[in-house]
Amino acid sequence: MTRKFTYADAGVDRILRAESKKSLQALAKTYRFSCHGEVVELPYGKIFPVGKSRYLDLAIEGIGTKVLVAQLAEKYDTIGIDGVAVVVNDIIRSGAKPLAIVDNIHAQVSNPALVGEWMKGIVKGAEEAKCIVPGGEIGDVEELIKGLVENKGFDMVVAAVGEVARERIISGRNIKSGDTIIGLISSGIHSNGMSFARKVLFKQWGGKYEPYDIPNELDREIVYEVLEPTKIYVRPLLKTAKELKIKAAVHITGDAYLKFNRLAKFSEGIGFEFNNFKPQPIFELIQKAASELGGEVTDKEMFKTFNMGWGFAVIVDEANKDKTLDVLEKTGVTAEHLGRVTDSGGIKVFYKKRKIILK
């Protein structure tokens, strides 16, 4: 029998993570300390007031095991872009404009040359997101961090704060059947599902390829394909939100298309159907490599783990579909109709002439 590879096999157990996250409910006890009014819950986080009509969105994110791929390639000048991207893309889901970011890097050793390469990426990402980097922290924690390359182990976490006016909050409410889902193209794997991808693709972790192999499906070395930085969606999203009503914004990261289910809590009775996928070759290569290793990664597992070509999505009224696509195109991002909201509940994907039930 062919063994099915799953994210849990790579060390990420969705069920266990969901159970663990229940403990986060304890944080609600702190909300009474909000100085200017009630904390507002949104589909993918919470915002808090700093005045009568202004809210701040504060988020923190890491880039996970993509740092290991950077070490495998001995290339460190782009990984900071990922650090900025993962957190500012989360901030804009509420409609907030990123104001500032700070980084916290745990390093095996504070190598000056290595720090310089990290900063190149962070600065480039911040410039694209149009926000400042007023500070950060690098800690030498050799006992905690061991890298693939001697004295070059590290972990990178980035926090961001953004501001949104009350009337511009993207709330996830009032979504209805027939609304349009528009996808914004990704640059590839981004920074999610990386533990899974590494263990299927690279011999270093039991996978198929050496880092500098160029499979027929790719036009460059596989390690550079996987290292391609996460796309930053700040400008397209904020430009679109300024010109028309966005009902919901989804950063397609961990749990991929399962993330849309959170919107059902804010707009009851809705479901989602997705029918437009042209994933970059790296995604099919993951499935092919697994097959050649004697296993299988199902299409269902792919859509529960990876962005499959779309790194971000917005939901708008059907009447605004064409205008939304036009505004997004003018910002330079590739965007297409990705699917629609239904009244049947659940999450369905139509791919390769098959219907896949995700939930």
> For the chain, where are the E strands, in sequence order?
3-4, 40-42, 45-49, 54-62, 97-107, 132-140, 154-165, 180-185, 248-251, 271-274, 295-296, 310-316, 335-342, 347-351, 354-357
Determine, yes or no, domain membership for 7.
no
Specify whether 196 is located in the same domain as 257.
yes
Determine, yes or no, domain membership for 157.
yes
Q: What was the pLDDT predicted at 3?
A: 63
Domain end (from 168, 189, 205): 168
Q: What was the pLDDT predicted at 11?
A: 67
* Residue among 159, 15, 19 nearest 83 (CA): 159
Q: If residue 100 lies in a helix (H) or strand (E), which one and from where to where?
A: strand 97-107
Tokens 């792919």: give the residue: 302
Specify whether 192 is located in the same domain as 70.
no
Determine, yes or no, domain membership for 9.
no
Determine, yes or no, domain membership for 208.
yes
d(CA 249, CA 129): 17
Determine, yes or no, domain membership for 26.
no
Specify whether 157 is located in the same domain as 214.
no
Specify whether 146 is located in the same domain as 207.
no
Specify whether 112 is located in the same domain as 248.
no
- Three-state secondary structure along 11-29? CCCHHHHHHHHHHHHHHHH
Q: What was the pLDDT predicted at 24?
A: 81
Determine, yes or no, domain membership for 213.
yes
Specify whether 321 is located in the same domain as 352.
yes
Domain end (from 110, 139, 168): 168
d(CA 160, CA 119): 16
Specify whether 189 is located in the same domain as 338.
yes
Residues 300 and 355: beta-carbon distance below 8 Å: no
Specify whether 296 is located in the same domain as 225.
yes
Domain end (from 127, 143, 168): 168
Q: What is the CATH number of the domain that holds 66?
A: 3.30.1330.10
Specify whether 142 is located in the same domain as 219.
no
Residues 303 and 256: beta-carbon distance below 8 Å: yes
Specify whether 60 is located in the same domain as 200.
no
Q: What is the pLDDT along the chain (359 residues), one digit of tens a residue?
A: 556 767 777 667 777 877 887 888 888 899 898 889 999 999 999 999 998 899 999 999 999 999 999 999 999 999 999 999 999 999 999 999 999 999 999 999 989 999 999 999 999 999 999 999 999 999 999 988 887 878 789 999 999 999 999 999 999 999 999 999 999 999 999 999 999 999 999 999 999 999 999 999 999 999 999 999 999 999 999 999 999 999 999 999 989 999 999 999 999 999 999 999 999 999 999 999 999 999 999 999 999 999 999 999 999 999 999 999 999 999 999 999 999 999 989 999 999 999 999 99
Q: What is the CATH number of the domain that holds 194?
A: 3.90.650.10
Specify whether 240 is located in the same domain as 352.
yes
Range of the domain at 212: 180-357
Specify whether 184 is located in the same domain as 139.
no
Q: How many domains does the chain have?
A: 2
State if pTM tops 0.75.
yes
Determine, yes or no, domain membership for 175.
no
CA 93-95-99 angle, to 5 degrees, is 100
Determine, yes or no, domain membership for 326.
yes
